[in-house]
Chains A and B, each alone.
Chain A
Amino acid sequence: MNAEDKLLSVRDLRKHFAIKGGILSRTIDKVHAVDGVSFDVGKGETLGLVGESGCGKSTTGRCILRLIEPSSGEVWFQGADVTRMDGEALRALRRDMQIIFQDPYASLNPRLKVGAIIGEALTIHKLAPTQRALEERVVQLLERVGLQPDHMHRFPHEFSGGQRQRIGIARALAVDPKLIVCDEPVSALDVSIQAQVVNLLEDLQEEFGLTYLFIAHDLSVVEHISTRVAVMYLGRVVEIAPSRELYDNPLHPYTEALLSAVPIPDPTVKRQRIMLQGDVPNPIRPPPGCHFHTRCPIARPDCAQRTPELRESGPGHWVSCHYRG
């Protein structure tokens, strides 16, 4: 990717959470939630970030927005390192980077009317000179996400899950962001509603030239919406490739197993499933060397000693495995 096409570059991002214990509450251990993650997101593209619970995908998303302070690493956005910003610069950044959360029930203030929820950011960033301008903008946003203008006078509990997610999207759109981190935006929704929200996100991307970092565990949805996909396992990116390439030609044994585990809604399709043994190891003491070697069907003795680097095996297809690619 050329430098001018990049909107976001994440370099060696790490986040360690301290575990405190004992009567003095001293740090006795650390959870390596994000353990050296690097990737780029191009202007106008959707990068899918997939992985199972606890792989660090949501923490990565939140570190990029500085909703969680990263332990180390760099996050370059429009030529500036986000991790070193503070005060006004950080406030300005929040206009350009927004987030949509998984749980549309928990992420909307139940005491505010929808109009106030969507309008809040406009007030904070002084984007609406008058009350009338504010209301006009809120109505425009509501209509754009498929809701009614009079919905601004209602409270979040009066809406269904899909409608609440639309409110969350309208709130994110209010400040004309360039990048939206979508953190499991459709995971809590029923399938028929999921499709509505995915279609809406795609339309908005086209209309406003948005860039998405789309975090999800549902590989089918990610495949559908993403330009490129990064697969995470225990705090590290194990593979990145253009969406189609990753699904047609997975190189990392974890990606392969993950894809083979997705149930296909067609009883006539019979597939060879790669069963992974056991559970994801504890991120407090991740296995040495390649984090995946304890469950890897092709692991060799040296996988426990040497940590594989992400390297380019084909055009745009990066994999971190000693024996694949």
Chain B
Amino acid sequence: MVRAVDGVDLHIDRGETLGVVGESGCGKTVTARSVLKLIDMPPGRFEAGQILWRGRDLIPLDQAEMNRIRAREIAIVFQEPMTPLNPVYPVGDQIAEVIALHQGLGRKQALEGAAEMLRLVNIPNPQRRVHDYPHQFSGGMRQRVMIAMALSCRPKLLIADEPTTALDVTIQAQILELMQEMKERFGMAIMLITHAMGVVAETCQRVTVMYAGKVVEEAPVEALFGDPRHPYTQGLIRSIPRIDRSQARQARLESIPGTVPSLLNPPAGCRFAARCRHASDICTRAMPPLKEVAPGHRVACVL
């Protein structure tokens, strides 16, 4: 059994952008999908815990109740914008389907709503583009379509799972700007799942850092980058080459030795201990709990 996510606590406030960062296999995507119960069960299952959405636990809800939450309250966009779109229907129909289903509108009105959403996400000629198929859009445009679909029912929370990872850097900048605009317009909160520290620094108010299925640090964005406390967060920030610091050029990159432990058989104690240069005996005995080191800044490290 793989415990992909193991005792993760996080919260998102109304209207804020929370970044959830970590490397492959740290559990960030599973956490995001669990919120909407998009994990296949079986083989997946919730062993314990709660997902409180505006005070109500989502875990006991049945399929029909969950469907009412999805799209209207919480929506999601994925990394790969082609896969979630049905290739044999025009994108307008697919957005209209969401609108019709959740807002009880007729087909014609829903299609108008779809065109309006495409206009909102800055797709040129929306009236004509609603009739186009997904393959007729570029990667960046498809991600705009996905965002249009996700926002069509005015959700209060948008979960964005690596929304720009598959995109080029100039297109990434466009999509991040669009998400910021939409957030301000609709007053929604965003949970941004990413591995890119630069994207986090530019878009998030708070950040949760995950490692091997656990939260290791949580802080307001300025504190996380200005005063990272967990050795993993420190390593992560230092290992990125930066184009804005000329004095750092030509120096060796700092790297974190070793690799992420297997979640099939995770080590006892702190999961980062084997790669941590500050690790001592007590680190391998028990996983340190998250403790508050400054207001809103919590770290799971004995140091």
Residues of chain A whose beta carbon lies under 8 Å from any beta carbon of chain B: 52-53, 160-163, 190-196, 198-199, 202, 217, 219-221, 223-224, 243-244, 247-248, 257-269, 271, 273, 275-276, 279-280
Contact = CB atoms under 8 A, between A and B. Distances in A.
B125 interface: no
Contacts of B60: none
Interface of B: 23-24, 138-141, 168-174, 176-177, 195-202, 221-222, 225-226, 235-237, 239-244, 246, 249, 252-257, 259-260
Contacts of B170: 52, 257-258, 261, 276
Contact of B202 (A52, A191, A264): A264
A265 B199 CA distance: 7
B236 A52 contact: no
24 contacts: A52-B168, A52-B171, A160-B259, A191-B197, A191-B240, A193-B259, A195-B256, A219-B169, A223-B243, A223-B249, A247-B246, A248-B246, A260-B173, A261-B172, A263-B176, A263-B198, A264-B202, A264-B243, A265-B198, A265-B237, A266-B242, A267-B225, A268-B222, A276-B174
B169 A217 contact: yes
Contacts, number: 129
A72 B151 CA distance: 49
A224 B241 CA distance: 6
A195 B255 contact: yes
A163 B169 CA distance: 27
A243 to B, nearest CB: 8
Given A192-B235, A198-B253, A261-B173, 12 more contacts: A191-B197, A191-B239, A192-B23, A196-B255, A198-B241, A223-B241, A258-B170, A261-B172, A263-B172, A269-B244, A275-B174, A279-B140
Nearest to A243: B249
Contacts of B252: 199, 202
B196 A263 contact: yes
Given A52-B168, A191-B195, A217-B168, A264 B244 contact: yes
Contacts of A191: 23, 195, 197, 236, 239-240
B239 A221 contact: no
A268 B141 CA distance: 30
Contacts of B202: 263-264, 267
Q: Which of B24, B141, B176 has the most chain A CB atoms closer than 10 A to its own CB?
A: B24
Contacts of A198: 241, 253
Contacts of A275: 173-174, 177
B162 to A, nearest CB: 13
Nearest to A203: B252
B120 to A, nearest CB: 17
Contacts of B168: 52-53, 217, 280
Nearest to B176: A263
A195 B225 contact: no
A217 to B, nearest CB: 7
Contacts of A266: 201, 225, 242, 244
A258 B169 contact: yes
Contacts of A279: 138, 140-141, 171
A192 B173 contact: no
Nearest to A248: B246
Contacts of A202: 252
B255 A265 contact: no
B201 A262 contact: no
Q: Which of B23, B171, B198, B241 has the most chain A CB atoms closer than 10 A to its own CB?
A: B241
Q: Which of A162, A195, A248, A268 has the most chain B CB atoms closer than 10 A to its own CB?
A: A195
Nearest to B174: A275
Nearest to A282: B138
A268 B222 CA distance: 7
B236 A262 contact: no
Nearest to B26: A190
Given A264-B243, A267-B222, A269-B244, A224 B173 contact: no
B177 A192 contact: no
A148 to B, nearest CB: 13
A190 B254 contact: no
Given A190-B24, A248-B246, A195 B201 contact: no
A53 B235 CA distance: 29
Contacts of A243: 249
B169 A261 contact: yes
Nearest to A260: B173
A92 B295 CA distance: 64
B201 A263 contact: yes
Which 4 residue pairs are nearest across A and B when measured between Cβ atoms?
Answer: A263-B198, A195-B255, A224-B241, A52-B168
Q: Which of A162, A247, A262 has the most chain B CB atoms closer than 10 A to its own CB?
A: A262
B243 A219 contact: yes
